[in-house]
Amino acid sequence: MATDETSKSRSLKTDDTSVLTLIYKFHPIVGGAERQAKLLCRSLLESGVNTFIMTARLNKLPAKETIDGIEVIRTKVVSKDNKIAGFSYAFSLFIALFKHRKKIKIIHSHIMTLPAMVATLFGKIFRKPIIVKVSGGGNNGDIQQLKNSFMAKQKIVFLKTADKFISISSEITKELIELGIDEKKIASIPNGVDTGIFTPNENKSAARKKIGIEDRLTLCYVGRLVREKNVFLMLRAFKRLTQEHTVNLLIVGDGYCRDDMKRFITENKIGALVRMIGNVKDVESYIAASAIGLLPSLREGLSNSMLEMMACGVPVIASKVGGASDVIENNINGLLFDSNDEDALFKHMVALVTDEEKRMRLGENAHKTITEKYSIKKVTQAYIDLYESL
């Protein structure tokens, strides 16, 4: 006899219908939303739920391909002019949705901008349930961008007709309610982590040798190198830390601040301790070599890198923005600080560098938090339950 979970998965798995994942950019163009979309789609397929992806065709990428077993369909974007490109993308997306309408059971937009607008229109015409995920909160987040856009009031009124909204943090839930979204339409489902890949590593020395860095206590930042990630505050705090402690800092990621960060590192003579890695496919190898994670952002949705580091048993020092405060209990499974408080970040760094017992305790609790609440299997089942309810 099938379990409830198996029965739900099978009821979604039919010969001709699928959950459509809609996102503007997708692999090989990668950000947090793209990583989550890919992880969820792969997990849905493993659970027996049919799914495929529609995304914009950028950088002359193939119109159709399969990535990690996921069917990806890309729709045309004509012109580099934002208005013309937006219109051409909206038109080609609607045509693609119409072409595949018999295959689509539910549309799940992973972004609250133009794709969600087109999906909502299509869903109302062809009676397809629409789910809109809000991936970023705060200033310059999804909702703020919507409020600042052309014909914002009309767009908001229209988007409110979507069937469900996914909130990944309490901050985003509050923003949705303030926007006028019916609370009954809001489902709180966090981002997920592949806990089969991101697992604790007890042999830090071997991990450091593998990536070619000095065998000493290592701090790690994983993310885009942009000002909204507060990377210069992190560097200033780390410079102060190095005046008393000889430790490594790994910076994994890339962005427009890269050259200025290199200049800061050189001018402040901390180059022997800082490694700027760039974008990598095996981020878990760098987390495995680290003892402390850093997330100093000015704005976040729910950081993938924070969840991944915690899954690996690495305690994270995070700013109190986005979903960090939902996941981290201060001094229980990590440390929190106000995003502009350099002194607080520095003091937290010193506390974890100098107190191994605290570092280990917070790391163990962090790992437990992720396995209990944020594994991709649990998140996938929450989505399956939601899909079944529509």
CB-CB contact of 263 with 254 (8 Å): no
CB-CB contact of 297 with 146 (8 Å): no
* Residue among 103, 126, 97 nearest 15 (CA): 103
CB-CB contact of 290 with 314 (8 Å): yes
Mean pLDDT, rounded, of the chain = 92
CATH number of 4-192+375-389: 3.40.50.2000
Query: Is the fold of 4-192+375-389 the same as that of 204-373?
Result: yes
Question: What predicted TM-score, i.e. pTM, was given to this entire model?
Answer: 0.91
Question: Region 5-33: what's the mean pLDDT?
Answer: 74
pLDDT single digits (tens) 267-276: 999 999 999 9
CATH number of 204-373: 3.40.50.2000
β-partners of residue 104 are 18
For the chain, what percent of residues have pLDDT higher than 90? 82
Tokens standing for 32? Answer: 């947090």
For the chain, domain boundaries: 4-192+375-389, 204-373
**Secondary structure E strands in the chain:** 18-22, 51-56, 64-67, 70-75, 104-109, 130-134, 164-167, 186-188, 218-222, 248-252, 274-278, 292-295, 316-319, 335-337
Measured between alpha carbons, how far is 93 from 57 in angstroms, rounded to an integer? 10
Give the least confident one: 78-92, 295-309, 318-332. Answer: 78-92
